[in-house]
Structure 1
Amino acid sequence: MQATVYKSTGSWYVVKTATGETFQARMKGIFKKNEDITSTNPIAVGDFVEIEPDDSDASAKNAMITGIGERRNYIVRSSPHGKNKKHIVAANLDQAVLVCTIKDPRTSLGFIDRFLVTAAAYHIPVILVFNKKDLYRDKEMEKYEEVAALYSSIGYRVMLVSASTGEGVEEVKEALKDKTTLMSGHSGVGKSSLINDLLPGLDLKTTAVSGWSGKGLHTTTFAEMYDLPDGGQLIDTPGVREFGIVDIPKTELSHYFLEMQPYISECQFNNCLHLNEPGCAVKAAVEAGDIDVDRYVSYAAMLDTIQEEQY
């Protein structure tokens, strides 16, 4: 029997069949020992799996996962169990939404860029949704317009919403319709409030921003998928403080900065890192103003964090 993984708690999984039947499923031991699986979690939310229902107690709705379908794509982050390990956040995605804020707390451009690079590496389109519009004054609106212009010019869709007033939420709903969407963001950006707007009656727990640090507090412990009322699925992920670059060699990093792609083949050297090499078309584009200097600084900072052993 085929099913889709809706929730993962690490040892048990909530899976749902095409007919809407839900089972609590365990993973067959063989997957835990599979050396081909290099992530800390061999099964992720969004995976298509084969299950065998436990007929001994039909009312319990238990099942065993006996097979994992081929993934169309997936997105990873550094595992909490070790920086050199990866954790699959979700699989089989049509797109991702990164919820950001200009204030309370401010989402750094470096964090946005790391998320965009990770998504690009796995061929997942991203929509940037800036929340808390109701808190923005002239200074914040000016900053938002600047940031929105930057990412729109690269080719990303950018939206401005207020989960607390509902402004802009309909546009988000339309963008999610009939698609499987991963929603992520720093803790405290109002992701749970936005999801509550998108899924009336769900009533996800929300937590105010921590006053002493300006950072949000975690409210989601495990990734979980929800069926959207108008069609499609939404995958809520735990609030992440950092989104490390995983499994991307230094020589490939620039390929995931979309605005750098047209210039890479024009560099003098095939393995150009776009730092100090002569004949670098990317650096020339930065100097000419065709590539935003802040994005280039973000690229250089990321490059510095990639370990040499990833070559």
Structure 2
Amino acid sequence: MEKRFSGVVMRATGSWYDVMHGGETVRCRIRGRLRLRGTRSTNPVVVGDEVVCEADEGGDYVICDICPRRNYVIRRASNLSKESHIIAANIDQALLMVTLRAPETATEFVDRFLVTCEAYKVPVTIVLSKIDLQDPGAVADFRAVYEGAGYRVLEVSAPEGIGIEAVNELLADRRTLLSGNSGVGKSTLIRAIDPSLDIRTGEISESHHKGRHTTTFSTMYPLAGGGEVIDTPGIKGFGLIDIDDAELWHYFPEMMRVAPDCRFYNCTHTHEPGCAVAEAVKAGEIAWARYESYLKILDEDDKYRK
């Protein structure tokens, strides 16, 4: 192995990073000053990063530089925190896995994730998981809301083999971030797509109907059919960061479609007369659930910015 090389981060554990270079995985640490550069981030180096590595005096490899990212998915590290946590970088698309029960994915989580993907220009598809366990009426209502907003919704059951082919087509030759709450079946889906991968899966806790964390660290897996998928630890909350109130509505595609018809160019779509967004909500052209999420995000995120 040469003294200095570039590669892609395939796994991040917080202290060690697996970097792929020329078909070989090299374990690396990160140089101390790299940590300082990302003072607002809990993780300066993430899966998907293109990095430059070099051997130190002891023969270990260290990541000494990070190439500019073309995109990433980011969230607030915790409530009331000013720090961010980047989930993955340099991705072609995201799949957000959602379950309406066993366990239930909160609408607010879904909408915040979608807003972040819109803000950082990451195409996103919603995967409605464990479809064989879901209520058909609830599935129809969910599809109406999110397909109405402009998102593709896939119905999947990995154990039943439902929707696996459609997911395979979506993943082919792309780098995909797979995200969602614990217990929605991310690892099970990846194993169904490529059985050769060694990924642990867990059961749902009966007492709390929540998933157990089976993925401890973010890991990128090359797929036999081409492309790569990034499996992430289950995410509980999804606080937005670096998105101003005035631009939030830009990341709701259904609001963007009608907002040019508002009476005022700087309409906030909350109280102004002649608001085309409010009229579209009243007419049922924009789902009330999505508009309510918009209002909640405006209200709740104000306290983070003080």
Under a length normalisation based on structure 1, what TM-score does the superposition of the two structures give? 0.91
Matches within 5 A, 1:141-160: 141-160=136-155
| Structure 2 gaps, min length 5 | none
Which of 27, 40, 43 is the aligned partner of 2:30? 27
| Structure 1 gaps, min length 5 | none
Which of 209, 212, 217 is the aligned partner of 2:204? 209
Aligned to 2:222: 227
Aligned to 2:128: 130
Change (3 A) 1:271 1:308: farther
CA contact 2:80–2:304 (8 Å) conserved in 1: no
Amino acid at match of 1:32: R
CA contact 1:249–1:306 (8 Å) conserved in 2: no
Amino acid at match of 1:88: I
CA contact 1:5–1:13 (8 Å) conserved in 2: yes
Amino acid at match of 2:34: F
Which of 208, 230, 237 is the aligned partner of 2:232? 237
Segments of 4+ in structure 1 off by > 6 A? none
Which of 161, 167, 170 is the aligned partner of 1:175? 170
Q: Structure 2 CA distance, aligned partners of 1:307 and 1:198? A: 41
Q: State the Cα distance separating 1:37 from its structure 2 match.
A: 5.2
Aligned to 2:44: 42
Q: State the Cα distance separating 1:114 from its structure 2 match.
A: 1.2
Q: Structure 1 CA distance, aligned partners of 2:53 and 2:160? A: 42
Amino acid at match of 2:264: F
CA contact 1:249–1:310 (8 Å) conserved in 2: no
Which of 280, 300, 307 is the aligned partner of 2:295? 300
Aligned identity (percent) is 46
Q: Structure 1 CA distance, aligned partners of 2:303 and 2:58? A: 52
Deviations 1:21-68 (A, max 9, x none): 11001112221222x6531211111000111246865xxxx4211211
Matches within 5 A, 1:48-63: 48-53=50-55, 62-63=60-61
Q: Structure 2 CA distance, aligned partners of 1:308 and 1:80? A: 13
Q: Structure 2 CA distance, aligned partners of 1:254 and 1:82? A: 22
Other structure's SS at 1:50 match: strand
Aligned to 2:6: 2
CA contact 2:71–2:89 (8 Å) conserved in 1: yes
CA contact 1:28–1:66 (8 Å) conserved in 2: yes
CA contact 2:77–2:239 (8 Å) conserved in 1: no
Aligned to 1:71: 69
Under a length normalisation based on structure 2, what TM-score does the superposition of the two structures give? 0.93
Which of 148, 156, 165 is the aligned partner of 2:160? 165
RMSD over equivalenced CA pairs, Å: 1.9
Q: Structure 2 CA distance, aligned partners of 1:231 and 1:130? A: 23
Q: Is 1:274–2:263 an aligned residue pair? A: no
